[in-house]
Amino acid sequence: MPTPAPNERLIVALDLPTIPDAKGLVAVIGDAAVFYKIGLELFMQPGFFEFLDWLRAEHKRVFVDLKFFDIPETVARAVRGLAERGADFCTVHGNQSIMEAAAGAKGNSSIKVLGVTALTSLDQGDLDDLGFECDIPALVLSRARRALAAGCDGVVSSGLEVAKLKAEIGDKLICVTPGIRPVENRVEADQKRIMTPADAIRAGADYLVVGRPIRDAADPRAMAQAIQHEIASAL
């Protein structure tokens, strides 16, 4: 797996209600970030795919996080469509056949398919409620092994599990880590398994997804720059 450039390791999550809001944040951040994640919130707005095209025209990398989970052929067609639009990353959920279909649909494109392991909003109590008879680290490792066997390029994993994942799988899979919070932004009710940028990089994360700490900062550009500096210092 090629080593990502330091300034590409930060992925800013554009979790905003409208496309104009998202474009405005990209403009404010400027050259402090080159990689953006667009997901379900913007997907429900008119112009989602035109916005993807706009980001590409602005020379930004794009992570489309829609967590595809459907019959394999439908998922394959969705991945193929994103590849044709120039998306860099996409996410897939589901069983082995779904992940295999997604990975097989890449063709000669540069899109990377990421298998979802366990959402950072879930803790052990949530997994127990869902009927999973294992702990979170075991589930993440199991999902990562299956993603690798299916031909996926990487996984989405909390920073708390990255070290064990990398120890077993090494650089065979890209590790994209959400739930990243600077120390002063660590308390949030819906993010239970979180880590600072430096700790996640030292644990082995390849890319960090950061949303609210940048979006809600008084100066989003300055916050993005501070996180970029923390990433560079931890490498």
Q: Where along the chain do its domains lie?
A: 6-234
Q: Has 73 been labeled as part of a binding site? A: yes
Mean pLDDT of 76-92: 97
175: which strand partners?
Answer: 155
**In this structure, CATH architecture of domain 6-234:** Alpha-Beta Barrel (3.20)
Q: Please state the φ and ψ torsions of residue 210, each to the nearest 5 degrees.
A: -130, 125
Q: What is the pLDDT of residue 37?
A: 98
- Of 169, 168, 234, give the one whose Cα is nearest residue 196: 234
**Token pair of 215, please?**
């979006």
Is it the case that residue 188 has pLDDT exceeding 90? no
Supply the DSSP symbol for 2: P
Residue 60 bears catalytic tag: no
Give the chain's mean pLDDT.
89
Q: Has 67 been labeled as part of a binding site? A: yes
Confidence class for position 137, pLDDT limits 50, 70, 90: confident
Pairing, β 174-177 against β 207-210: parallel
Distance CA 39, CA 52 (A): 11
Confidence class for position 130, pLDDT limits 50, 70, 90: low
Q: What is the pLDDT of residue 96?
A: 94
Q: Has 68 been labeled as part of a binding site? A: yes
**Taking the model in full, what pTM does it have?**
0.90
Supply the DSSP symbol for 30: G
Q: Has 154 been labeled as part of a binding site? A: no
CA dihedral for 87, 92, 98, 100, sign (positive or negative):
positive
Distance CA 12, CA 25 (A): 10
- Of 39, 6, 49, give the one whose Cα is nearest residue 215: 39
Q: Has 225 been labeled as part of a binding site? A: no
Distance CA 98, CA 172 (A): 20
Per-residue model confidence as pLDDT tens digits over 27-50: 999 999 999 999 999 999 999 999
Mean pLDDT of 111-134: 68
| Residue tagged active-site, from 67, 112, 172, 192 | 67
Q: Has 117 been labeled as part of a binding site? A: no
Q: What is the pLDDT of residue 125?
A: 60
155: which strand partners?
Answer: 115, 175
